[in-house]
A and B are shown apart, each in its own frame.
Chain A
Amino acid sequence: MMLENCVYDFFELTTLNMAQNNVFGEVLHVEGAYIHNLEDFWGAYTHNWRLDYNEHHRGDVYATHGMGPACQLLDMHRGDKMNYLVAMDTKPVNGPAAVEKHEGRKAPDFKNGDHTLTMIQTEKGKTMHIQHNVVTPRPYSRMYQLTGTDGFANKYPYEGYCLRPTQVSADDVPNHEDLNAHGFVPKEVKDALMTKYKHRIHAELEETAKKVGGHGGMDFIMDYRLIYCLRNGLPLDMDVYDLAEWSCLAELTAISLENNSAPVEVPDFTRGAWNKVQGYRHAFAD
């Protein structure tokens, strides 16, 4: 199992629950990213392994924080599969500048583009858009976003939902008449929705998680769920095919980039079993 923590964050897991309860209709397009300016942090990596890796590898080498929540929304290998992807990147400018600053040498062959973009097509006709940027000054963003036939959710820079009034009961939210399919719902409505659709995992663990900490609590939930499922003999929340799907962008985007953004097939990592299960679910012992 890959230790992807972001799938347990509060907005993500709540929104996933909403999606699984059809609040957004059919989810058509999802986004994700790792946009985190690491210029102040390169020195923290032992023997400079992280900047070193970026220097020698082109492509989206760190896609899982964006891919994880996005793939769960699309029931990846539990009813849908990725078919192919195309990638594009900017030239490297701040990347080599970081090497020069930290190591005092020029890096003319620095491989990783400052900003990398990927688009992925799925079998069921959905699309994913994933970005990567660890070198330019920008606010942190994982670009968590979903576009559905009946609604929309976005996390960065501010959390928000946009829903048709039909998707929400007047019993659940205030200002039900104020909802419209053209703007974000007001704060009270968002809060009411997140209360109503709080995921069982958060209901049970949120308090402890926020005390124990780790990126606001999601790290604790991740470790707790791993142990809970192992102890109870349950399927884990993430399997080896998730690991494959979320990590394969490193090499597959590099191939596309080396070929003028040509489409590259994403293999069926389950080799035939991607449609065996219908819908992604977390396991519980009861």
Chain B
Amino acid sequence: MKKIYSLFLVAVLAIGLSGSVLEAANPIKVKVPKRAKGQTDVINLVSPKLDVVRVGFIGLGMRGPGAVSRFTHIEGTDVVALCDLYAERVERCQNILTKAGREKAAAYSGSEDAWKELCEREDIDLVYIATDWKTHAKMALYAMEHGKHVAIEVPGAMTMKEIWALIDMSEKTRLHCMMLENCVYDFFELTTLNMAQNNVFGEVLHVEGAYIHNLEDFWGAYTHNWRLDYNEHHRGDVYATHGMGPACQLLDMHRGDKMNYLVAMDTKPVNGPAAVEKHEGRKAPDFKNGDHTLTMIQTEKGKTMHIQHNVVTPRPYSRMYQLTGTDGFANKYPYEGYCLRPTQVSADDVPNHENLNAHGFVPKEVKDALMKKYKHRIHAELEETAKKVGGHGGMDFIMDYRLIYCLRNGLPLDMDVYDLAEWSCLAELTAISLENNSAPVEVPDFTRGAWNKVQGYRHAFAD
């Protein structure tokens, strides 16, 4: 899929390095579609309050059933319809509903197009899409065309074309289009975000994120092998959102900063093709996805991001959540820790205040005291229920709860379609960089001019 991009690659080869004059290389530009006349951005989009949010679920494989279950714990929701290719999966979720004392939902299954009928129903406010990656965008577009808000599993879209289609549709219809990124609600991440927003780390300069999760024991769990299949046919960071989400929120992405360009690099594929051989009994010499993929992103405000991807080698799980600030540092994997100047912390708030130093991790008691002081309001209100209801330790419940809370209260959602775009665009943009010897690739301003309208990322509340 060689497209022609307007590019100016500097072939900086073995030239005399001292005294050479080079024109600054311009990043490869990707197309930015023009907005339709009269169409405006959806920054801080709000929609009319909903007393009860009526939901239709499409995709009841790996993530769907858990979501249905979580929704039975969220008041103000009505599960109206369930859809999956397989009737047994719909039945299983019906049981989840009835066990929770809820009415059975309308059932759709048995055909590749049954989901369309769900989207056409007049009695649904929100379509919740938890299917394989390739179907996310097309289902979301259809649902929005039929007047429904959409919540889409990650990544929300796999190509720039899909991303722009979702943005245009959301801007045109003024409907919410939110990606179901759960990691931004995890306990260390949201607490640390709160600390960052309270200037505990000074100015945040560099952030990291990743999806490092050895899936070698899990490929078989994906219906029709769709996930390993996707990795086999696509180079680049195809699954960046768990790392990008928390990192972008720390940098107030399109709420005061924007990504300018990225460069990507990958290792050869070794374990990837080996996984195909093991699971499918055939050699995969054209396996595209490098075993380990790295990306660096430059922002307008002079910050940097480093994002990694590896789903095939033996490694402990890591989302590489990390921030480097002028006055402090936070790191999550393999062990949670903070490093702060004593000036950033009051002696009233933490024990061993004299033991703090700008060269090492704070002691456990200090960390615990800090996390207590800076517990996010969302966690203060939801943590107990979240840990009971579960879902990756609670963050899934909080994600669903906040979606419904904001919809019911007519508030902006915690994540908008531009977040979906920013966190998902690495799939195609890194592929372009990789196909061009890691050349810089411009990251478009998905808001088309509104990235600086809001100053600072905040969660909305009804009071």
Contact = CB atoms under 8 A, between A and B. Distances in A.
Contact of A84 (B22, B206, B298, B438): B438
Given A115-B304, A115-B324, A28 B292 contact: yes
A261 B334 contact: no
B238 to A, nearest CB: 17
A94 B327 CA distance: 9
B440 A121 contact: no
A140 B334 CA distance: 16
A267 B358 CA distance: 38
A267 B304 contact: no
A91 B339 contact: no
B313 interface: yes
Interface in B288-303: 291-292, 294, 296-298, 301-303
A152 B335 CA distance: 17
A129 B294 contact: yes
Interface of chain B: mostly helix, strand, loop or mixed: loop
Given A29-B267, A115-B324, A260-B26, A157 B314 contact: no
A148 B313 contact: yes
A40 B357 CA distance: 11
Contact of B206 (A90, A261, A262): A90
Interface in B1-38: 9-10, 12-14, 17-18, 22, 24-27
Given A164-B314, A259-B24, A265-B12, A88 B263 contact: yes
A68 interface: no
Interface residues on B, range: 35 or more
A73 interface: no
B188 interface: no
A67 B14 CA distance: 21
A117 B316 contact: no
Contacts of B328: 137
Contacts of A48: none
B164 interface: no
Interface residues of A, number: 61
A262 B329 CA distance: 29
Interface in B141-191: none
A149 interface: yes
A86 B267 contact: no
Given A88-B304, A150-B314, A137 B334 contact: no
A22 interface: no
B315 interface: yes
Contacts of B291: 28-29, 147, 149
Contacts of B217: 182
Contacts of A120: 265
A30 B26 CA distance: 29
B268 interface: yes
A141 to B, nearest CB: 10
B316 to A, nearest CB: 5
A233 interface: no
A69 interface: no
B54 interface: no
Nearest to A88: B296
Given A93-B326, A265-B14, A162 B316 contact: yes
B337 interface: yes
A260 B27 contact: yes
Given A29-B292, A157-B337, A261-B261, A37 B358 contact: yes
Contacts of A119: 263, 265, 294, 296, 438
A90 B334 contact: no
A55 B425 CA distance: 36
Contact of B205 (A115, A121, A149, A261): A115
B270 A26 contact: yes
B438 A94 contact: no
B261 to A, nearest CB: 6
Contacts of B324: 114-115, 133, 136, 138
A206 interface: no
Contacts of B214: 181-182
Contact of B267 (A125, A139, A140, A262): A125
A28 B292 CA distance: 8
Interface in A181-226: 181-184
A263 interface: yes
B359 interface: yes
A98 B341 CA distance: 15
Among A26, A181, A261, max chain B CB count under 10 A is at A261
Given A90-B206, A121-B265, A264 B12 contact: yes
B329 A138 contact: yes
**Closest 5 A-B residue pairs measured CB to CB?**
A125-B268, A91-B302, A181-B314, A137-B358, A262-B25
25 contacts: A29-B291, A39-B358, A84-B438, A86-B263, A90-B205, A91-B303, A94-B326, A114-B206, A114-B324, A115-B205, A117-B206, A121-B265, A125-B268, A129-B294, A136-B327, A138-B359, A148-B313, A149-B291, A162-B315, A182-B217, A182-B317, A184-B316, A252-B17, A260-B26, A263-B439
